[in-house]
Amino acid sequence: MKRIGILISAIAALIIVFILFKKNINQTHSFDPNAFRLGSPDKINKILLSPNNPKLSYIILYKEKDKWFVKNDKLTEPADTHSIRELLYWVLKKAQVKSPVSDAEKEPVTREIALNGVKAVFYDGSSEISAFYAGNPTPNQEATYMYHPDMERPCIVEISGFKGYLTPYFTLDFDAWRSPVILDVPSEQIQKVDISWPEDPQKSFSISRENNSAVLRDVNGKIVAAANSTRLLSFMERFQNISREYGETAGINRKSALRDSIIQNGHFFGISITDVNGKRQGLRMYRMKTGPETYAPDRRDGSVPNFETDTYWVQIEGKKELWVIQGAIMNSRMKTLSDVAPVK
């Protein structure tokens, strides 16, 4: 009987220890699985991304008259709406806490977030809706370390069904947030399109809306009477939206001498759009030399052409940067006078 009593006492003690241990675990590691989600992303009209690293600049994304813009301490540009929607309606609608970090991870992960994390603050007008810190990927790169001020320690955050980390969605790279659209005019507001071929000016032309029809003029301003107005109006609509390759500016912009030499050599093709209010937008295209990693197809004799045939440098009028643009985007717009008014 005495042994039975001792056994019962030991079991009871183990149960008490287990209950206390479990209670302590729950207190230390308690978490809200939806702590990093946004309940009403539609209400967000401003996002502040600020670095803990003083060497990096902040990013502000803000909505004005239904259009998003990105700004830092130097620049303000139209923002990439697609990237912002991905952040608000995918990342922050589906992000969930997989688990808090372990005791062993707590100190190094907290230190890393403190040094290199990005603080993300979301606003509805002037009211702060949510704020947290986004950190680096987990070692398996299938989740992300994040910290919420209301939680005792950083957490491992994931999106169910998605094997990847979320750090890039909180980037402080200004160019990554810029809109890839480099020419944007609603088709009904296009008043005039000027196409220039500096290397062969006789190919240049302009199309303008006059008296409810489209008028084609050659490089000297002479009206081309044989042009079909309906066909010209259809061609003008192609210029309402033109996009460059997505992402940051090309590395050539970090080599200003090389970039400037390309620009100084002159562009081979140009577009200028004037809207009904007289505002002008334009771009210039430059040939891209082939290199060791060229994509230009070899000639029949096996030689490599001097310039790429499917990609070009493009410069927005009034800007210094060069971007990359695909020929597939531009081929239907790179027309000559004889293309839009074929000689019969």
Instruction: Delimit the domains of the chain by residue range.
Output: 41-177, 181-340
Least confident of 30-39, 117-126, 195-204: 30-39
Q: What are the backbone dihedrals phi and psi of residue 273, each rounded to the nearest 5 degrees, phi first?
A: -115, 130
- Please give the mean pLDDT across all residues of the chain: 86
Is 190 exposed, middle or buried, given 0-12, 13-18 or 19+ CB atoms closer than 10 A?
buried
Helices assigned H by DSSP within 192-299: 229-236, 256-264
Tens-digit pLDDT profile for residues 291-313: 655 555 555 565 667 888 889 99
Cα–Cα distance measured from residue 65 to residue 70, given in angstroms and rounded to the nearest whole number? 14
- N- to C-terminal Cα distance for the chain? 116
Tens-digit pLDDT profile for residues 20-54: 333 333 444 567 899 999 988 999 999 999 998 87
CB atoms within 10 A of CB 232: 21
pTM, entire model: 0.76
pLDDT top residue among 8 and 46: 46
